[in-house]
């Protein structure tokens, strides 16, 4: 057991010194100059770079007190040091085990450390926290002031709720803040019905009521959110398009609008409720899906299993890979049908919007155009059937292996699910 390296975390078998920690858990990158020695130097410098009083303060507050100018040493800039620490912290957080976290919680209680997490463990610690913070503020009014006077948070553009329909733009012309999610819309609706209930218990009451909703009811809120979000993104895009890239960034930063998160899978391109999921055109994905399930018991750790499965994929013969390619083709045909079926549930206007946002998906309406594209990346192995046949054999009985049968079942289930979802609209 102890010799099993299956665990993600690198463990320390016996007592360790600082260098062992660095070797095993923190990524050392010689090419960027972050050698073991430099990393040790960085950590040592950090230890003396913040006011002593911050040693007992929770991590986020403590970190703000670190003087990176003081930490920096050649050839690293203060920013480089700060970035490196962020990376180290990120790695360490991922590597902590349950046992370590429990130990830390125990220590929090024993030492009454001014740690935010301690409050989750024991509410009594919170009282002690408040008392000590009061003392701290009295002793260090300047430090507290400093913290308060560094506003990083977004000043909300508007405090209006999305349910109020059209909102006026603020002075800068920016659209109102992003709409709240489905659950929050639901919560707002609950407010008028809370008479006689203690405001302290509002949240739990809403949560209980939310749990009591059917999937269809919850979806309705989700749709409402999606529509509002789309409207918001459209307005935002409309507004910022007249600015240069630099001005746009400055504007977004100033208002604390984080486009990074919504940009990657923007609500404009995100799947609509009920919209069929587009299958991957890679056979590897289907192989992964099958094998992840089959190897669940053998390798419970999902990441390890995933790595192993992809390794297995590499070792497959062309012929075996081709079988998965055929499954992809089948899935694409089914997707095409589902897509057409789903589109019929939309109004003409919604369909037009959909094609505007997803022009590339048009190809899935026509299986022939699909085939042509996929044939370009077709792998070398090819049975005697022609390409045309490959696409148009939907009615032909083909020999099935077990995995294919499972897949059929799964697809049927998908179909059922979709029917349920169509009923909503």
Partner DNA sequence: ATCTGAGTGTTGAACGTGTG
Partner DNA sequence: CACACGTTCAACACTCAGAT
Which of 153/344 has CB closer to DNA? 153
Which of 282/353 has CB closer to DNA? 282
Interface of this chain with DNA, residues 240 to 279, rule: CB under 7 A: 258, 260-265, 267, 269-271, 277-279
Q: Are 221 and 248 in contact (CB under 8 A)?
A: no
Residue 108 neighbours by CB under 8 Å, 6+ apart: 115, 117, 118, 121, 125
Q: Are 338 and 276 in contact (CB under 8 A)?
A: yes
Which of 130/400 has CB closer to DNA? 130
Minimum distance from residue 360 beta carbon to DNA (Å)? 9
Over the range 325-362, which residues count as b (16 or more CB within 10 Å of their CB) and which as e?
bbbbbbbbbbbbebbeebbebbeeeeeebbeeebeeee
Tokens of 127: 């009282």
Interface of this chain with DNA, residues 294 to 313, rule: CB under 7 A: 296, 302-303, 306-307, 310-311, 313
Which of 41/64 has CB closer to DNA? 64
Residue 29, strand partner residues:
34
DSSP state of 364: G
Catalogue the E-assigned strands of 42-161. Answer: none
Which residue among 133, 197, 365, 420 contacts DNA (CB under 7 A)?
Answer: 133
Q: Which stretch binds DNA (CB under 7 A): 180-188, 336-344, 363-371, 398-406?
A: 180-188
Residue 34, strand partner residues:
29
Which of 279/367 has CB closer to DNA? 279
Which residue among 25, 82, 284, 323 contacts DNA (CB under 7 A)?
Answer: 284
234 binds DNA (CB under 7 A): no
Which of 14/315 has CB closer to DNA? 315
Residue of 272, 164, 178, 270 lying closest to 219 (CA atoms): 272
Which residue among 231, 255, 281, 382 contacts DNA (CB under 7 A)?
Answer: 281
283 binds DNA (CB under 7 A): yes
For residue 133, say if its preceding peptide bond is cis, omega within 30 degrees of 0.
no
Q: Please say whether the dihedral angle defined by the alpha carbons of residues 406, 412, 416 and 418, taken in this order, is positive or negative.
A: positive
Question: Which residue in the block uniquely carries the two structure tokens 């390296």?
Answer: 5
Minimum distance from residue 384 beta carbon to DNA (Å)? 22
Which residue among 144, 235, 251, 299 contacts DNA (CB under 7 A)?
Answer: 144
Interface of this chain with DNA, residues 147 to 176, rule: CB under 7 A: 148, 151, 153, 159, 161-162
Question: Which residue in the block uniquely carries the two structure tokens 């169509």?
Answer: 422
314 binds DNA (CB under 7 A): yes
203 binds DNA (CB under 7 A): yes
Distance of alpha carbon 25 from alpha carbon 40, whole angstroms: 13
């Amino acid at each position: 057991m102890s010799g099993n390296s299956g665990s993600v975390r690198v463990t320390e078998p016996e007592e360790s010194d600082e260098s062992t920690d660095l070797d095993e858990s923190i990524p050392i990158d010689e090419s960027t100059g972050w050698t073991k020695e430099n990393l040790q130097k960085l950590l040592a410098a950090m230890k003396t770079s913040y006011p002593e009083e911050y040693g007992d303060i929770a991590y986020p507050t403590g970190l703000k007190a670190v003087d990176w100018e003081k930490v920096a040493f050649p050839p690293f800039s203060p920013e480089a040091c700060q970035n490196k620490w962020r990376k180290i912290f990120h790695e360490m957080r991922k590597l902590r085990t349950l046992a370590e976290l429990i130990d830390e919680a125990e220590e929090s209680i024993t030492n009454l450390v001014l740690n935010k997490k301690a409050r989750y463990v024991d509410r009594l610690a919170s009282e002690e926290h408040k008392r000590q913070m009061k003392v701290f503020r009295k002793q260090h009014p300047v430090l507290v002031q400093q913290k308060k006077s560094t506003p990083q948070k977004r000043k909300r553009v508007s405090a209006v709720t999305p349910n109020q329909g059209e909102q006026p733009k603020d002075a800068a012309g920016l659209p109102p803040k992003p709409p709240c999610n489905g659950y929050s819309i639901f919560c707002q609706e609950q407010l008028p019905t809370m008479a006689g209930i203690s405001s302290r218990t509002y949240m739990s009451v809403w949560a209980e009521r939310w749990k009591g909703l059917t999937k269809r009811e919850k979806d309705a809120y989700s749709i409402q959110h999606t529509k509002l979000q789309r409207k918001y993104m459209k307005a935002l895009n409309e507004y910022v398009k007249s600015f240069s890239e630099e001005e746009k960034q400055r504007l977004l930063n100033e208002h604390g609008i984080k486009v990074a998160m919504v940009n990657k899978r923007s609500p404009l391109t995100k799947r609509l409720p009920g919209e069929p999921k587009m299958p991957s055109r890679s056979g590897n994905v289907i192989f992964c899906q099958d094998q992840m399930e089959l190897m669940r018991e053998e390798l419970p750790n999902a990441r390890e299993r995933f790595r192993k499965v992809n390794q297995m994929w590499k070792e497959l013969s062309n012929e075996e890979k081709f079988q998965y390619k055929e499954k992809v083709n089948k899935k694409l045909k089914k997707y095409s049908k589902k897509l057409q079926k789903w589109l019929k549930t939309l109004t003409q206007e919604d369909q037009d919007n959909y094609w505007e946002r997803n022009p590339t998906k048009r190809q899935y309406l026509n299986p022939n155009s699909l085939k042509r594209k996929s044939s370009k990346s077709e792998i070398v192995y090819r049975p005697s059937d022609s390409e045309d046949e490959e696409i148009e054999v939907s009615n032909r009985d083909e020999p099935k292996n077990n995995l294919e049968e499972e897949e059929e079942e799964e697809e049927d289930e998908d179909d059922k699910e979709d029917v349920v979802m169509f009923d909503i609209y």
